[in-house]
């Protein structure tokens, strides 16, 4: 990437920042000079990731449950006390549980909404007033191609991710004249722990081999492969760098042509 250290002076918060897509995003933003707060459920995991980033920039870690309003408020208050107002928010924390619709009980349904949709609402609510006051901000919601199309056996997850895209579009219009952009980045099946869990789940339920289970997922991607976390991070970084100011309210697929 060009624009060396283009994000110096900016404070970026990445939820779910300890591994996978979140870790790749944090690395890309730190390399460009942003001070980074990693948020997630497990503080030791965040601290481990932070050690890799401190060669590039300031890094702080906060444990948070994105589905709980009090936890989110406390984590963001602590992050801003340490590194200043938040300029970039990457709502990356998410969870995907599968079940046929007829076996999707209210608890599973609510859990998917709480983590994947309410978490985005709570995190954005914590930082948007400061962005509007500063006259600059970037909110990037890591959704999924499940927010753009349907997949069987993950109806609750799809509903939540579609909700995030709707929220993205509405908020982009509210902030369009304030130099605050709001976008969604929508990966297809990506080489992360969530997808590895899905492969294990397919194996357990169908008796297929690991290779056969993986093929069941990669068949959705016309390129015939899993997306790499760094490819998602590259899209996020682009939305933060100078020159992307006109990009707002978009759902950007990173999926090898699966969604067009």
Catalytic residues: 157
Q: What token pair was written down for 47? A: 């601290």
Number of residues that make up the chain: 260
Q: What token pair was written down for 16? A: 């779910």
Taking CA atoms, 20 is separated from 32, 81, 190, in Å, by 19, 27, 9
Residue corresponding to tokens 């930082």? 127
**SS3 readout for 3-69:** CCCCCCCCEEEEECCCCHHHHHHHHHHHHCCCEEEEEECCHHHHHHHHHHHCCCCCEEEEECCCCCH
**CB 60 within 8 Å of CB 38:** yes
**CB 30 within 8 Å of CB 237:** no
């Amino acid at each position: 990437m060009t624009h060396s250290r283009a994000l110096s002076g900016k404070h970026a918060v990445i939820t779910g920042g300890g591994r996978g897509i979140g870790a790749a995003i944090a690395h890309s933003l730190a390399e460009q000079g942003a001070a980074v707060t990693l948020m997630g459920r497990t503080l030791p995991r965040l601290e481990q990731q932070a050690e890799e980033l401190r060669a590039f920039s300031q890094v702080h870690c906060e444990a948070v449950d994105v589905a709980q309003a009090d936890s989110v408020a406390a984590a963001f208050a602590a992050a801003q006390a340490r590194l200043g107002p938040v300029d970039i928010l990457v709502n990356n924390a998410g969870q995907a549980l599968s079940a046929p619709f007829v076996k999707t009980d209210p608890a599973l349904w609510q859990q998917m909404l709480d983590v994947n949709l309410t978490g985005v609402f709570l995190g954005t609510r914590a930082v948007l007033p400061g962005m509007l006051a500063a006259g600059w901000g970037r909110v990037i919601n890591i959704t999924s191609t499940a927010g753009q199309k349907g997949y069987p056996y993950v109806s609750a997850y799809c509903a939540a991710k579609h909700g995030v895209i709707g929220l993205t579009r509405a908020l982009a219009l509210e902030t369009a004249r304030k130099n605050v952009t709001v976008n969604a980045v929508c990966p297809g099946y990506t080489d992360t722990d969530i997808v590895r869990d899905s492969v294990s789940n397919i194996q357990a339920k169908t008796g297929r081999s690991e290779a056969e289970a993986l093929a069941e997922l990669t068949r959705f991607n016309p390129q015939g492969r899993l997306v790499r976390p760094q490819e998602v991070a590259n899209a996020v970084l682009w939305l933060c760098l100078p020159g992307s100011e006109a990009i707002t309210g978009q759902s950007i697929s990173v999926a090898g042509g699966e969604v067009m």
